[in-house]
Amino acid sequence: MKIYLKFSTALLLFAASPFILTSFHINLLTEILIFGIFALSLNVIVGYTGLVSLGHAAFFGAGAYTAGIIAQNISANLLFTLGGAVLLSVILACIIGLFCLKVSGFYFLMLTLAFSQMVYSFVYQSTGWTGGSNGLSGIPNPILFGWELSNTVWVFYVVASLFLVVYAILGIITESPFGKVLVGIKENEKRLKSMGYHTNIYKYAAFVISGIFGGVAGALYTYFNGFIAPSDIYWTMSGTVLIMVLIGGAGTMLGPVLGAALIVLLETIVSTYTNMWMMILGAVFIIFVIFFPSGIYGISKDIFKGIQNHTVRPKVKNISNEKVS
Amino acid sequence: MYRTLENNQSTTLEVDKIDILIAQMVNGLSYGMLLFVITCGLALVFGILGVLNLAHGSLYMIGGYVGYSVTATYTQSFWLALLTAPLVVAFIALIMERTLLHYTYKLGHLSQVLLTLGVAYVFHDIAKIIWGTNVLSIRVPESLAGSVSIAGQLFPLYRLVIIAVGIVIAVGIWWVQNKTRWGAIIRAGLSDREMIGALGVNISLVFTSVFVLGGILAGFGGVVAAPILGLYPDMEFQTLILALVVLVIGGLGSIAGTFTASILVGVLETFGRYLVPELSMFLVFTLMAIILVWRPNGLLGKQVAEG
Amino acid sequence: MLQIKNLNAYYGESHVLHNLSLKVGQGQVCAILGRNGMGKTTTIYSIMGMVPKREGTIEVAGRNMVTAKSYHISKSGVGLVPQGRRIFPNLTVKENLLTTKTNTENGWKHDDVFKLFPRIEERQHSMGGNLSGGEQQMLSIGRALLTNPKLLLLDEPSEGLSPLMVQEVSKIIRQLKQAGLTMLLVEQNLAMAKEIADYIYILNKGRIVFEGAVEEFNGDIQKKHLSLSS
Amino acid sequence: MYEETILEVNAINKRFGGLEILKEVSFDVSRGERIGIIGPNGAGKTTFFNLLTGDLTPTQGTIAFHGKHITNEPNYKRTRRGIARTFQKNNLLEKLSIFENLLLVLQRKHGIKSTWFKVRNNRSYRALYEEAEALLETWGLHGRRNTKVENLSYGEQRQIEIMLGVATDPSVLLLDEPTAGMSQSETDYIVELLKNLPEALTLMIIEHDLDVIFGLSDRMLVLYNGHVLADDTPEAIRDNQQVNEIYMGKARVV
Amino acid sequence: GNSAIQQSGGSGGEADASEDKVKIGAILPFSGVYASLGKDLSDGMKLYFESVDWEAGGKRIEMIEEDTGADPQEALKRTRKLIDQDDIDILTGAVSTAVAYAIRDEIVTNKLPYLTSHAGGNDLTREQKSDYIWRSSFSSWQIGNSMGKWAYENIGDRIYVAAADYAFGREVSAAFMESYKEAGGEVVGQVYPPLGNNDYASYLTTIRDSDADGVYAFFAGSDAVRFVQQYEEYGLKDKFQLLGSGWLVSEDLRESIGNAAEGVHAASFWDYNLENEENGKFTEAYEEAYDRRPTIESLEGYDAARILVETIEALDGDVSDPEEIVKAMAAVEFDSPRGPFAFDQNTHHVIQDMYILETIQEEGRTENSMIDQIENVQDPGK
Ligand SMILES: Nc1ncnc2c1ncn2[C@@H]1O[C@H](COP(=O)(O)OP(=O)(O)OP(=O)(O)O)[C@@H](O)[C@H]1O
Ligand SMILES: Nc1ncnc2c1ncn2[C@@H]1O[C@H](COP(=O)(O)OP(=O)(O)OP(=O)(O)O)[C@@H](O)[C@H]1O
Ligand SMILES: [Mg+2]
Ligand SMILES: [Mg+2]
């Protein structure tokens, strides 16, 4: 019940925002939601399965470029472009996953990086389709049921609804028995195998799911921006989204979204005041690691728990006495 | 290449080709050794501290810039730069380890990645404030400035010296890691910090030393590479990615692996540029992918037994 | 040699040891008994400085070590055979032994350990993580001996050892005792504990519920403090 | 006891590099047997288990389960066939609670498909919860169901280890030193629990606690230096001179 | 105002609260590989604005700078911010061509007058041209084409081409080859190392083996430093004449390059040592203000600022109508430090003189000196 309440509130808030916010802020919010989806998708493998990828931009880029190229050459119909983006992300994830899941830990990180850089090189070199280093510009606005989404507000509504859908889907997946298995894999894969789980299949499924929603985020970014650059598929993009997940709180649903919001806001706001925004961003990372290692989500939870502890329970509890035997 | 050969109707074509291959081989070797000089500090710190130091590129950059300041501004001596820059970087590494990294050992790899990336960002802007955004470069010292002819082809002497420097460093690190008690203690500390403390080893001190040593190597690499690669904004991230690739291809925790991988990447990139110039960037990552799929722990990485 | 007064130990919010006091005299061997989860290991780790929060006093050879770092404690002559062995899995057997700081010139040496456990010598180039459970236990004991401690803490040293090996280890401990080494022993193998210890403490839920010379420890006490209903 | 042979081990060999750890071990197991495995440290007992469960594959030889070759089958498939194990060294999902550990086992046991993608208040999932609660009750762990495993003492973790093995509801259960690190009273409790397992369940136990092993087994296997030194009734093993020499020493079974 | 109303209201014309100001947005890289170019452009603009006391047509000039890095996406975001939040009247800047293309559509739909002050991609004033986009800097065609014919006449009929592998590098070399071949020369080889490549040894070894008369190279920034240095180290300097664009031996790089730069021939539309009255004034003022020599980018900034000021002057400070701004801008003509300056009314791209420079050794340092001049180079617009 509570869940539905939360969702309706979010829905109402989103519906109302264009009437409250300026278009600059709507743009900002749209971007946050897109990166929120992107971070959520990465979180499936990083936060839940414990596979840290530094190549997630490959899916974002694949989704973005596919949507853009389809819109330019075939049809700007949103269902078409989004469908194409999803299809290509699936194929890409299936291929990359096949190789990357053979390794683990830091090697996984680097192998995903390698594949995404290969995709990057491909995009960069295929000047004819992708515009190469100049990027792909002049992409027509998406069309939904014959309606051209020509302004920020429409795009925002599309992004916001898809965000809610993705959030719900991923929420259900991670809460499901399947999600529990992923968490188990992150904890102790060997034991899970002994329990009878074919862990490779689970990891592969998680990887593909993660890739799909990465692609969705990419396609949305194309609708939002009307322009795609190779930098969207570069490793720095993978790095940024990984940071969003880590700073927000890996392995939680809300965390990555909060992380995306923080990073997008910081980049936008800080860089209007100073050219030294990298220093400030860096300082924020450091502060998080040293003082709030469990991320934004962790902070809010700690604060919440702190209040509870002070009011409800004594601070030190005696575990030994709890034992029932 | 084919274009060139088509136009070259002479009968010495075969000989030329072999000369070129030899020349490219030497190029590859020297580039590979340059990669090794740059990467070894990262490899050391990751291989034995388990810390993926994303600020390694920044330390390398600071080494280069300090080296520049020493040669260009205060004195004119490359050798003095080679001495002071690593020390300055070592000091920075010391501060970094004691005040920041120190807290993250218990938090795990990801926190360290985030932390060191943050540090790299901060250093990026600090370097910009101090040294500006222009492209700078260190002049090769007179004594190493000339060129040497090998197989009828000219090579800068400095490049050949780098090959020697790389080998010396490799042997040095290998010796410390394998032939001294140090190596064992550090690797033990990696798997169970608490326990190594209970055996009477002040592991934080050891960790600090290793990190500082990594800093020294980074600073040294910065000065050595600057005459070839130059100093410019964003150099640290370019270098970092390349270093990570070399590190992974070689296999974590193995200096011999890093050494092998440096040469492999150096030679492959050089020949890649020669044969398929547009794809050289693609090639390195493909190499990494192939190697990892074939050997999931890199070329010489050890499969660490589970406890 | 070791004197603990009013020790309280915590893991985060959970308070595990409550005003624990115990004493091990020079050359004495004391055993701590108790059911699972009663705080035995926590006591050992507290002495070794490995529990995050400790209050009270822990005096080793007259010096209060309650706030000291564990390497410091080790250097002042405390050796540890931890529960679960805690071998370094990524090091070979030989390297595992190499990691210890040998405090004195004329004490235990690598060869002595090998002589004691020939099995370990055979496996000296194997990775620690690949050893069998019992082999790891031997290595763990050998590693602690190499620190040439004045006070040796043994947390279930017989776990995973074959009966024959248990007798062997028991013999070694008695020899060490004879040589004057002070020891604090946690053991589930009551027979072994009784054979070695001079004095016995029983822990229950982080409190000492019985202490007395080994002769005072009998079936009744065992039933009263060590059975499930307690 | 049942006459049906369920597990046939045929001349298996295991090498690690130059070390030959198991040599020509052959061995049959009938349904419902309670087999105790003893042997000096490093004899190869755990390795033998690893071969049976698929955590390792033999260098030579074959393993058949219900007449089907499973020699090279991965461990998860064997678990689904009903071969479950516990580990000598605690091998748990440390950051998860006791309850979550258990839930993962049960979820797999009932087939992930029946619970796939179903949220908590779904019926089949609720049934799972109830089963888990009941198991925790039996093991006296109900009060600590939400405690993270890493916050348990060593002996307590050993209990979870066994509980997870039993919870799979296997037809063959391999226990690697189940009571090591447990106090006497907990040991007694566990032994009692094991004795009450269904009769059709096949049990193989490695244990250095002679009371435990002799109390539980109806057949005993002695491994020595990688080969089977003796395979006999507990009584015969007790009197076996050689076993006494290499393994038990002066220790006597009480 | 909220975005829903703004969007549906359509006009987007809000009352300008700051009637007495003209807001100029500048998107420039202050971080990343182009950071130094951004800084120089910014300094050049400020120098000129300072000289008119930040006033034009009776209004105060307010310049809002946004850091784009080298990242077009970032630039797009910044541009949106300038449009939506700061409500700027005119936009200028863009170092990277990709940035210019990225913001192009946004500018056109918002009818925002934009003066491109560096980015050189040809299409910006060809297929992608727009009433609102005017370019005062250069096009890649201008840079490459000017050297082609000259190289054939003065260097030889066989040339090897090397250029950084990105759109701009490809365009410059294509323009060069087009005019070089047209003049009768033969391109004996081409190679395109990646942008930001750090070791040219392999490429140079290949080139060394060819039988060309010269090498035409397009590299900029750190690539240029490495290329020119290694060109000498690998002994190519003695074999082939090195030709390139002004960026190969630009003012801020030559000190790092050192003596290796000596003898390079480069094509540019401006140089520090150009001898004309305006340039004398400009370089002197710049050195006085910043204590370093101006670069090509400084000049571009200086000129851009001047164009903006003259536009506003011509409108008497009334910048409310973008069409009027564009019209006024198109008419700007003046004597720039680079020589006579005027826009091509068809392409909206600058018509300017190109200079062939030679780098020489002088008093222990290298200097560029003009050895030839090609007048009124006009982009063909196709
Ligand atoms: N992965 C491995 N690599 C190399 N040697 C191994 C490996 N695993 C086990 N061994 C060796 O094989 C031998 C048998 O090990 P195993 O764990 O089977 O013994 P065990 O009978 O269970 O002994 P314990 O009673 O001490 O547990 C040991 O000497 C051990 O060192
Ligand atoms: N890291 C920890 N965090 C929180 N609680 C802990 C931690 N380690 C142990 N505990 C709790 O502290 C209590 C005492 O644990 P301790 O390990 O000292 O018991 P023990 O007597 O050694 O038991 P065992 O015989 O099982 O080894 C137990 O209730 C345990 O759950
Ligand atoms: Mg214990
Ligand atoms: Mg075993």
Q: What is the pLDDT of residues A53-96, one digit of tens each?
A: 999 999 999 999 999 999 999 988 999 999 999 999 999 999 99
Concatenate the DSSP letters of all residues of D163-193 into one string.
Answer: HHHHHT--SEEEEESTTTT--HHHHHHHHHH
Pairing outcome for strands E186-191 and E214-218: unpaired
Closest by Cα among E195, E200, E142 to E165: E195
Mark E86-124 as b/e (b = at least 16 C-beta within 10 Å).
eebbbbbbbbbbbbbbbbbbbbbebebbbbbbbbbbbbb
**Which one of D14, D20, D23, D47 would you pick to mutate in the ligand 1 pocket, going by the greatest count of ligand atoms within 8 A of its CB?**
D47
For residue A271, is it within any domain?
A: no
- By percentage, how much of chain E surpasses pLDDT 90? 73
Q: Average pLDDT of D177-182?
A: 89
What is the model's pLDDT at position B95?
Answer: 96
Q: What distance in angstroms lies between residue A182's CA and the mean position of ligand 1's atoms?
A: 31
Cα dihedral across residues C10, C16, C18, C20: positive or negative: negative
What is the least distance, in Å, from the CA of B291 to any CA of chain C?
A: 23
The residue-averaged pLDDT of E230-240 equals 91
- Tokens 């290509």 correspond to what residue? A88
Task: Determine, yes or no, domain membership for A141.
Answer: yes
Rg for chain D, CA atoms, rounded: 19
Q: Looking at the DSSP assignment, which residues form a beta bridge with residue D60?
A: D13
Question: Is the predicted pLDDT of residue B24 greater than 50, yes or no?
Answer: yes
Q: Ligand 1 centroid vs B304 CA: distance in angstroms?
A: 16
Kindly report, residue by residue over B65-97, the tens digit of the pLDDT.
999 999 887 677 899 999 999 999 999 999 999
Which of B185, B187, B199 is opposite residue C90, by nearest beta carbon? B187
What does the pLDDT read at residue A222?
94
Q: Looking at residue D123, what is its pLDDT?
A: 66
Q: How many CB pairs under 8 A join A and B?
A: 121
Is B120 within 8 Å of A282 (Cβ atoms)?
yes
For every residue of E332-376, DSSP letters joined together read -EEEETTEEEEE-TTT-BEEEEEEEEEEEEETTEEEEEEEEEEEE
Amino acid sitting at position D62: T
Segment B44-63, tens digit of pLDDT: 888 777 888 999 999 999 99
Ligand 4 centre to CA of E57 (Å) is: 91
Atom of ligand 2 nearest to the CA of D155: 26
CB spacing of A152 vs E3 below 8 angstroms: yes
Structural domain tally of chain C? 1
Tell me the pLDDT tens digit for each residue of B95-131: 999 999 988 888 888 889 889 999 999 999 999 999 9
Position A274 in a domain: no
Q: How far apart are CA D234 and CA D236, in angstroms?
A: 5
Is the predicted pLDDT of residue E71 greater than 60, yes or no?
yes
List Cβ neighbours of B74 (8 Å cut-off, separation of 6 or more): none
- Cβ E376 vs Cβ E351: under 8 Å: yes
The CA–CA distances, whole Å, from E342 to A51, E242, E328, E382 equal 59, 31, 13, 19
Q: What do you get for the CA distance between the two ends of chain E, in Å?
A: 43
Looking at chain B, the whole-number percentage of residues with pLDDT higher than 70 is 92
Touching C: which chains, 3+ CB pairs < 8 A?
A, B, D
Q: Is D125 in Cβ contact with A188 (below 8 Å)?
A: no
- The pLDDT tens digits for A172-184 are 898 888 998 999 9
What band does E10 get if pLDDT is binned at 50, 70 and 90?
Answer: very low
Domains of chain B and any CATH numbers: 27-294 (1.10.3470)
Per-domain residue ranges of chain D: 5-81+172-246
Where is average pLDDT lowest: C147-161, C196-210, D126-140? D126-140
B/e letters for B214-241, b = 16+ CB within 10 Å, e = fewer, are bbbbbbbbbbbbbbbbbbbbbbbbbbbb
Measuring CA to CA, which residue among A100, A82, A225 is closest to residue A166?
A: A82
What domain range includes position C59? 2-226
Instruction: Tell the residue nearest (CA) to atom 8 of ligand 1.
Output: C130
- For CA atoms E302, E304, E307, E311, the dihedral sign is negative
Task: Convert the pLDDT of each residue in E191-233 to its tens digit.
Answer: 999 888 888 988 998 898 888 999 999 999 889 999 999 999 8
Report pLDDT digits (tens) over A214-238: 999 999 999 998 899 998 999 889 9
CATH number assigned to the domain comprising residue C75: 3.40.50.300
Give CA–CA dist D26/D12, Å, rounded: 7
Return the CATH fold of D5-81+172-246.
Rossmann fold (3.40.50)
Q: Tell me: the pLDDT tens digits for B137-178?
A: 888 888 888 888 877 778 889 999 999 999 999 998 888 777
Q: pLDDT value at position C102?
A: 66
Average pLDDT for B277-305? 80
Q: Which two three-digit tokens encode residue A313? A: 């329970």
For an interface test with A, the pick among E3, E107, E140 (most A C-beta atoms closer than 10 Å) comes out as E3
The amino acid at E314: A
Beta bridge partners of A77: A143
Residues of chain D contacting A194 with CB distance shorter than 8 Å: 53, 55, 75-76, 79, 84-85, 87, 91
**pLDDT above 70 covers what percent of chain A?**
93
Query: Tokens 């802007």 correspond to what residue?
Result: B125
pLDDT on residue A132? 86
Output the average pLDDT for chain D: 88
Which residues of E are less than 8 Å from B277 in CB distance? 191-193, 203
pLDDT number for residue A323:
31
This prediction has a pTM of 0.90
Residues on chain B touching E209 (C-beta within 8 angstroms): 4, 16, 20
| Rounded average pLDDT over A164-189 | 91
Cα–Cα distance measured from residue B148 to residue E233, given in angstroms and rounded to the nearest whole number: 10
Task: State how far the Cα of A36 lies from the Cα of A64, in Å rounded to an integer.
Answer: 16
Q: What's the pLDDT band for A189 if we cut at 50, 70, 90?
A: very high
Which residues are close to ligand 4, an ion, with C-beta < 5 A?
A: C 132-133; D 46, 88
Ligand nearest to the CA of C160: 1
The position carrying tokens 């743009």 is A27
Amino acid identity of residue C88, one-letter, is F
Dump pLDDT digits (tens) for E286-340: 999 999 999 999 999 999 999 999 999 999 988 989 999 999 999 999 999 999 9
Chain mean pLDDT for chain A: 88
Look at chain A and report how many structural domains it folds into. 1
Instruction: State yes or no: pLDDT of D154 exceeds 60.
Output: yes
| DSSP assigned state of A101 | T
The shares of helix, strand and coil residues in chain D, as percent rounded to the nearest 5, are 40, 25, 35
**Whether pLDDT at D254 is above 50:** no
- The one-letter amino acid code at A189 reads E
CA–CA separation, E118 and E99 (whole Å): 11
**Sign, CA torsion D233/D238/D239/D240:** positive
**Of A204, A293, A205, nearest to A255 (Cα)?**
A293
Angle between helices B13-44 and B203-229 (to 10 degrees): 150
For the sheet with C2-11, list strands across it. C14-24, C2-11, C53-60, C63-64
For residues D247 and D39, the answer to whether their CB atoms sit within 8 Å is yes
**Does the pLDDT of residue E178 top 70, yes or no?**
yes
Q: What SS3 state is found at E123?
A: helix
Q: What is the pLDDT of residues E18-48, one digit of tens each?
A: 568 899 999 999 887 788 899 999 999 999 9
Q: How far apart are CA B107 and CA B111, in angstroms?
A: 6
| C159/D181 Cβ within 8 A | yes
pLDDT for the residue E91: 96
> How does pLDDT run across C39-65, given as a tens digit for each residue?
999 999 999 999 988 899 999 988 999
Q: Give the Å distances, CA to CA, from E222 to A205, B64, B135, B281, E162.
A: 44, 14, 6, 18, 15
Single out the residue of B105, D154, D97 nearest to residue C42, CA to CA: D154
Q: Which atom of ligand 2 is nearest to the CA of C44?
A: 18
Q: Which residues pair with E377 in a beta bridge?
A: E352
Q: Which domain holds residue A129?
A: 24-235
- Please give the ipTM for the structure prediction: 0.89
Q: How far apart are CA E309 and CA E57, in angstroms?
A: 8
Residue type, E247: W
